[in-house]
Structure 1
Amino acid sequence: MQIASVHTRIVRAPYRRPFVISSGTSPELISLVVEVRTADGESGFGEASPMTAYTGETLAGLEAALTEHVAPALIGRDPRDLAGAHAAMDAAIRGQHLAKAALDIALHDVAARAAGWPVHLLLGGCVRPRVPTAWVVGLGTLEEMVAEAAAYAARGFVHIKVKGGEDPELDVRLVRSVREAVAESVELSLDANEGYDPGTAGRTVSRLADAGLDLIEQPLPRWDLAGMAMLRSRGGVRVMADESVYSLHDALEIVRRGAADVLNIKILKVGGLYRARQIAAVAEAAGLAVKIGTMPELGVATLAAAHLAAALPNATVAADLVGPLLVGEEPLAGAAFAGVGDVGWVDVPVGAGLGHDL
């Protein structure tokens, strides 16, 4: 089996309402969909969605890196040779994790389809056939955010993540109000997206813990691992690294510095499923939990995240699989996510490949 060609298409889906985090606002979800075709007629699909305010990567840059550098490095290779594919992509261009992730997902899809397996079997098995997903509440007024959190907790979502990082005082009020509005069994996290000042973060996180927060995500700049370790040492609330985790080497340094209790592994950010499994293994060896996150993406990449969350024993924090639920109409794998917004989990597909209907 050999890769014969790679094709791309840009897909746009407007959000039901603009997706707002502390680093920027997105009115629509834009993805680059990749199809890998083999010489014997097999196809596999991947996807990458550049959130420029978050990763610094643009759609034009992603498409250029993929079509001019990364894809040509794979032509003629066996799509089942994932280690070799990553070595070839890394030799072709440094960085460009989103482009490499899109192709990595497509390679997993085509290899699993050829074998007649669901992708999670390529990733090690299926620890959990149903993957619980967190509901992510974007920035808004306090009243809007509390109402949204309460509504989705009542539907069955076991983890509610609220966005923050702009105003610590408002974050404390928000966490206290959401905790009062949801059941005690619902895990509550706040994603500050690097928004807190290192000098006052300790006091803010202590107040958040007193308000009922379970998990604080990336409260400090990605480079401040000493500050993250300090927050973790205070206890009271678990610390999760997100923007600090772009590579296997980042994960190892976080473990060495004791800078997190949980690693948020986003497949696109780290370069694909192959690299994500390596990072999860480092976390498992260190006794850390992982969360499988998204930025968010549409259905193909979100399905890849669901398969990975199903396969990893230490993926014990509810995954972020809500991208397809945030848009008005999911154009890639809508059937796989039908009803998810009413129950709070994704049933991991058991057919060959990722489980989309492209």
Structure 2
Amino acid sequence: MTELLRTPLYDLHVELGGRMVPFAGYEMPVQYPAGIMAEHTHTRSKAGLFDVSHMGQVILRGTTYEAAARVFEALVPMDVLGLGEGRQRYGLFLNEAGGILDDLMFANRGDHLFVVVNAACKTEDTARMKAVLEPDVSVEPVTDRALLALQGPRAEAVLTEFAAEAATMRFMDVRTVELDGVEAWVSRSGYTGEDGYEISVPADRAERLARSLLAHDDVAPIGLGARDSLRLEAGLCLYGHDIDTGTLPGEAGLTWAIQKARRAGGARAGGFPGAAEVLAQLEAGPARKRVGLRPEGRAPMREGVDLYAAPEGGAPVGRVTSGGFGPTVGGPVAMGYIPADLSAAGTTVYGEVRGKRLPATVTALPFVAANFKR
């Protein structure tokens, strides 16, 4: 058995009554005494504080930002060179068949590129970046900083009490901000569909900042359980579940993340792994699509449930990749893949739950409208 790692906030989680579980090689809190439903609702109405220090933080540094960006563009189908200073984008690492190896965030920090990758993939992602290096570009894993996420409609008001400039940041802005006497790398982004911030701070100052934020009446600690229900209602993919190496961006509904410069006819079209397959699917359209599903009744359709076109007979046409109860929606919600000709909103498909086929209505994503600061 591999020994589980702990984030700099482990002791605080235990002190707060967090129920610790293994996740991506770490001991992480799945919930606190208030429970997942209350944590979910608190984040939607006020502000939740998440420990996401298990995520990988990496710096690509070159003689200029452009040097690092040019190297990174060899790995992703995103416009990295065209990203403005102090701005962030969503990105994808792809394999040679166009399948998704990981999803990530990257930011133009002026003199370097800052990348945040998924915890379970960070060793492979770092090696992937090192494999395409040029002599004047280095890859530097950041191992001495924690990562917090403050999410919810009161996040701006809370963080503004620590730094007034937080209120002037737009969605996907990135800047260095002093918070509680410590230098923080702050982005206005998150994984809940709500307004909020992700905050990278030195590991030895993370607990102090977390305690200061939690001292605010509007802030509560939130665990992995509510993090999952929040992102599901927001229609956001979880790597290894809704997207993986067998999924192309087009069928995952992620074509919005591929900018014009990298598409056919663009200034720097192609030049990334799987470009032929990805661009061909963008042109022709995918044979299957990721969709939202609203199961009838109260029974959730969870990951792995087979989907059918009819209430009886026939082979499965798709599969649920994420599912559970949506506290804000007030009922079960799910995401999965079905043939494109069944993907129109309002179509009924059937999920097999405990030997019975139950109806579910194809629904536009997200289930809960995004509340980002535009």
- Asked if these proteins are the same fold (TM beyond 0.5), I'd say no
TM-score by length of 2: 0.24
The structure carrying a bigger helix percent of its residues is 1
Q: Considering only CA atoms, is the larger Rg found in Structure 1 or Structure 2? A: 2
